[in-house]
Structures are given as C-alpha cells and as structure tokens.
Amino acid sequence: MTQSGPRVEQRPGPGLAVLTALVQALGTAALTRGEPADVGVAGYVLLVLSGLALADRHKRPRVNGIIVAAAIVTYHVLDRPDGITFMAPVIAASAAITAGHRWVAWGVAAASYAVWAVLDGPTAGRALTVAAILAGAGLVTEMGTEAVRLAKQAIREQRRLEEERRRRRASEERLRIAAELHDVLGHHLSLINVRAGVGLHLMAREPEEARLALDTIHRASAEALREVQSVLNTLYPTGEAAPRAPAPGLDRLDELTADAGLPVRTVVDGEPRSLPSGVDRAAYRIVQEALTNVRRHAGAGAAATITVEYRPEALVIQIDNHGGAREPADAPAGNGITGMRERAAALGGTLATGPEPGGGWRVRADLPLDPEPAP
C-alpha cells in the first residue's frame, strides 16, 4: 500500500503574463491601424509592461494590481488610441479578489478612474462610457473569480471524500483481518487447550490416547500458523507476499469437524454448489467460531450438529449444541458472536443465536447468495 506525500502547491508560470502582453500590444496595433493617433513606442512599452507585470500577481497581488493600473492609466493619460487595454487590469483584479483583497481591487479601480478623469479631462459621455465599462468588467471579474473559487472548492471536497473513502476501506480491511485472526486463533487455541488437557489426563493411564491428543495439538498448531500467515500476507502490497493457501471455505468443513474436539454431525440439505467467495469464507468462519464457543461454554458430553442448507437464493448455516451446560439466555454477546453477526451483516444476511428448548445453544446464519454490502 503506497502513500502519497504532501502536495506541493505550484504557482502558475509566466505564460499568461507573456500572452497578455502580446495580445494587448499586437491587438491594439491591429485595431488602431489607419487611425490618426499613433500608439508610439511609449504606448507599446506600457502595454507590454502591464502584461508582463502579471507574472508576479500571485505573490504580491495588491502591489501587482497597482502597477498594472498605473501602466494602463498612464497609457490613456498620454492620449494613446483605444485598444485592448482592459485585459491586464481584469486579470490583476481577479488575482487580488482570489487572494481575498476584494476591496483593494475595487479601490484601485476607483482611484485609477479618478486619476484618468482628472488628468485626461474626458467629456461627460466618454466618462460615463468608461465608468460603465469599468463597472461591467469588475462585475464580470467578480463572477468569474467566484466561479473559479467554487470549482476549486468542489475539487478539494472531492479529494477529501476520496481520501475518506480510502481511509474507510483501509479500516474495513483491518477489521476484516482482525476478525479473521480472532476466528483462527480462537478456534485453534481452544482446540489445543482441550487436547492438551486430555493428553495430561491420559498420559499415565493411556499413553496411546495421549499420543493422539498430542498429534492433534501438533496438527492444529501447524494449521493455525498457516492460516495466520495467510491472513497476515494480505497486509503486504501486491506482489510482495502472495498468500500461500486459499481462504478456507465449506470444502474444508470435514477437516474442521474432524478436529473439533467433540462429536460433530454434519447434515447437508440441498445440492451443494459453488458459492461466492465471500459467502463461502463467512460460512466457514461462522461454523468455526460456533464450534469454538461450544468447546468453551458447553459442559461434559456436549455434541454439535451442523446443518448446511443450500437454497436457491441463500445459504443457511445452523449449528446446534446438544447437551452439556446450557448457556444462559441473558449471557452477554462476546466478540465471537459479535464477529459472526458482523460477517453475516456485511453480506446482507442475518445471524440469530439463542438457547434451545431442550438445552444447549443454537446459531443460525442466513447468507444471501447474491450478497450486497450492508449500508
């Protein structure tokens, strides 16, 4: 699993500044061709300067806005012909507004207009026309800047949601691994505990039975190590450590019941068939945890019956603990029952547990064969 480093904020390059300088100079030259007034060298210098000054608009937006406005006002005060002169001021104002200096941008615009009106002495009609153009350009700049801000905000929100989903998937994977480890270790350690007790009890009187118990302990511990290794391998990135054994399913139910440490009878109802991997794995783990609970809580002489019912739309797993001490109906649900219930719920199924009328305990899981993640 790779982790991306912190994002480095990158400032835009000088491309827009150079483009603005070229558009203002060349565009004004094209528009004023044939007119009596000449742009002149000074006019072109001011147009190019106002454009190139935009390269610094993100670092110092307020100073940049003043420089651009001063260059354009000077161009018009020198009585140069009208051309493309609003491009640089609009971009500079947009940068200032984006940086949070809205009133500075409007103040510079108002001051520039006042200086131009005093020094140039325009007619009333021209003054009103320029004021209307300036106000319209300002409003368009405001709306464009707000649209860009909302778009950036939406992008940031989308990235945040994607990051949350990534963290949630990682948390869900860790919980799944924890549940797998709980089932594997709980089952095999309880079996080892039972067999070790039997071996110690029979060591002196029946050495052959004690040897069989120790052999069971050996096989159970080896199986536990293999399953733990298989689960832990999922923590490594793809390609570093592929699982050495497939995830257990109902095809290994006979192995599970043979090493259960108590008499277990298996009943299959319906035609066995291939199951979705999630359902197959969940069914195995539910049976494994239920048998572990039988060994932990049932008394002497306990036995279990496992019923596997293949329905067209669902798989039903039922584990009945016959005989032995009856678990009280108000016993708190431990991690084992909670884990079984969460496994079933994750597949859109249900799990019910409770005492049987004649004694013992029942665990029943209904798992849809077309599982949908729980909401």
Q: What is the CATH number of the domain that holds 363?
A: 3.30.565.10
Any domain includes 36: yes
What's the pLDDT at 365?
A: 94
More confident residue, 59 or 316: 316
Any domain includes 304: yes
What's the pLDDT at 11?
A: 58
What's the pLDDT at 374?
A: 47
What's the pLDDT at 341?
A: 86
Mean pLDDT of 141-150: 77
Enclosing domain of residue 71:
15-121
Any domain includes 229: no
* pLDDT tens per residue across span 184-194: 666 666 667 66
Q: 24-38, 63-77, 100-114, 235-249: which has the minimum mean pLDDT?
A: 235-249
What's the pLDDT at 371?
A: 55
**pLDDT of residue 330 exceeding 60:** no
Name the most confidently modeled range: 218-222, 265-269, 353-357. Answer: 265-269
Any domain includes 166: no
**pLDDT of residue 256 exceeding 70:** yes
Any domain includes 355: yes
Any domain includes 164: no
What's the pLDDT at 143?
A: 79
- Residue 65 banded pLDDT, cuts 50, 70, 90: confident
What's the pLDDT at 156?
A: 87
Any domain includes 285: yes
The residue out of 91, 121, 151 marking a domain boundary is 121
- Residue 297 banded pLDDT, cuts 50, 70, 90: confident
Q: Specify the number of domains making up the chain.
A: 2
More confident residue, 69 or 335: 69
**pLDDT of residue 206 exceeding 60:** yes
The residue out of 106, 121, 136 marking a domain boundary is 121
Percent of the chain with pLDDT over 90: 7
**pLDDT of residue 300 exceeding 60:** yes
**pLDDT of residue 166 exceeding 60:** yes
What lies within 8 Å, CB to CB, of 237 at 6+ separation is 1, 2
The residue out of 121, 150, 167 marking a domain boundary is 121
- Residue 315 banded pLDDT, cuts 50, 70, 90: very high
What's the pLDDT at 266?
A: 92
**pLDDT of residue 213 exceeding 60:** yes
